[in-house]
């Protein structure tokens, strides 16, 4: 009359490993309704599929088996509701966490991909690869300086930096890391440098007035508009002739620069072993559009 399932059948129907079922039995979390008195075989009833599937969901949510077991001993509806309510809240938090992780690695990816295009000397605008016959756009290339349109870009501004004579940027950077938590800065987002204006940058390129976090949910924005863009290879704070090239281009094209200067590392230690190949992008607003020039 009664139908029982062997551990193999029960494992298949529930999609739970036999070794897991044996372990759950061993720790007293979930046991078969019957054991063969002769050979000690485990026999499960089909009813048990309901319960084991519920346990499977909870354990897949990383609820400790002890917690599941506690809720299971003497069961009542109120107890189960409390357990589910807790798990719903945890699930909400976990999904929030995963969304942030996604945002972190995605932001990182976009920077790296843009860096790859720069290194390849592709014609690109805002990370969109353009074919060489595209007219509307300008060369984005390691050795070129150019004016490009940029969408707005959120960030979080860190505390004001204070550099002492002959001190490396590490001290202010550590200070930034130290206070990151209070400022709701997640240090896993890419970090950039921020000079208040072009004069500050030209004066001490390797001493940004602040550090910024490239958090897409940031409370500040680099506004959409036209920016003077240039790149350089080298370790943090090593800009070589970049300031000279930047200003030469601005003068030649009669550009007035305005607003803060952003220094963003597209390639850093996360994707490169050799520090001398780190790739930085400088980005500063232009007051008016330059006259249309023909590219040749």
Select from DNA, its own copies, none the partner in contact with residue 105, using the beta carbon and a kind-dependent cut-off of 5 to 8 Å: its own copies
For DNA, the binding residue among 9, 126, 151, 181 (CB under 7 A) is 9
Give 204's Cβ-side CA count (13 Å radius). Answer: 17
Which residues, numbered 85-114, are part of the site for its own copies (CB under 8 A)? 85, 87-88, 91, 94-95, 97-99, 101-102, 104-106, 108-109, 112-113
Q: Which stretch binds DNA (CB under 7 A): 36-44, 123-131, 156-164, 171-179?
A: 36-44
Q: How near is the Cβ of 6 to DNA at its closest, in Å?
A: 3
Select from DNA, its own copies, none the partner in contact with residue 84, using the beta carbon and a kind-dependent cut-off of 5 to 8 Å: its own copies
For DNA, the binding residue among 33, 41, 57, 151 (CB under 7 A) is 41
Q: How near is the Cβ of 152 to DNA at its closest, in Å?
A: 37
Residues 164 and 9: their CA atoms lie apart, in Å, by 72
Q: How many residues does the chain have?
A: 296
Q: How near is the Cβ of 295 to its own copies at its closest, in Å?
A: 27
Q: Does 73 bind DNA (CB under 7 A)?
A: no
Which residues, numbered 43-72, are part of the site for DNA (CB under 7 A)? 59, 64-66
Beta strands in the chain (DSSP E): 34-35, 42-43, 123-125, 128-130, 146-150, 153-160, 191-195, 210-213, 220-222, 225-233, 257-267, 279-286
CA dihedral 268, 274, 276, 281 (to 10 degrees): -20
Residues in contact with DNA, total (CB under 7 A)?
20
CB 191 within 8 A of CB 236: no
Give 29's Cβ-side CA count (13 Å radius). Answer: 21
CB 151 within 8 A of CB 223: no
Q: Does 13 bind its own copies (CB under 8 A)?
A: yes
Contacting residues for 66 by C-beta, under 8 A, at least 6 apart: none
Q: Does 18 bind DNA (CB under 7 A)?
A: yes
Binding site for DNA (CB under 7 A): 6-9, 17-20, 22-24, 38-42, 59, 64-66
């Amino acid at each position: 009359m009664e139908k029982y399932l062997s551990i193999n059948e029960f494992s298949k129907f529930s999609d739970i490993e036999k070794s897991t079922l044996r372990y759950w039995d061993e720790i007293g979390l979930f046991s078969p309704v019957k054991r063969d008195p002769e050979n000690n075989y485990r026999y499960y009833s089909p009813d048990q599929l309901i319960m084991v599937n519920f346990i499977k969901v909870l354990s897949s949510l990383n609820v400790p088996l002890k917690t599941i077991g506690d809720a299971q001993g003497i069961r009542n509806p109120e107890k189960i509701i409390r357990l589910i309510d807790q798990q719903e809240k945890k699930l909400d938090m976990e999904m929030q966490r995963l969304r942030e992780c996604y945002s972190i690695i995605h932001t990182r990816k976009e920077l790296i991909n843009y860096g790859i295009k720069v290194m390849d000397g592709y014609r690109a605008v805002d990370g969109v690869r353009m074919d060489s016959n595209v007219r509307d756009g300008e060369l984005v290339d390691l050795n070129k300086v150019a004016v490009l349109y940029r969408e707005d870009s959120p960030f979080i501004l860190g505390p004001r930096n204070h550099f002492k004579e002959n001190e490396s940027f590490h001290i202010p950077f550590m200070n930034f890391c130290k206070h990151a938590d209070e400022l709701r800065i997640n240090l896993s987002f890419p970090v950039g440098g921020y000079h208040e204006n072009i004069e500050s940058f030209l004066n001490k390129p390797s001493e940004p007035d602040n550090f910024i976090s490239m958090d897409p949910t940031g409370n500040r924005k680099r506004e959409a508009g036209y920016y003077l863009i240039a790149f350089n290879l080298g370790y943090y704070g090593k800009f070589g002739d970049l300031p000279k090239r930047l200003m030469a281009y601005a003068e030649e094209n009669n550009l007035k620069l305005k607003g803060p200067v952003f220094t963003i590392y597209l390639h850093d230690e996360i994707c490169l072993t050799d520090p001398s190949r780190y790739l930085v992008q400088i980005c500063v607003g232009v007051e008016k559009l330059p006259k249309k020039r023909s590219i040749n």
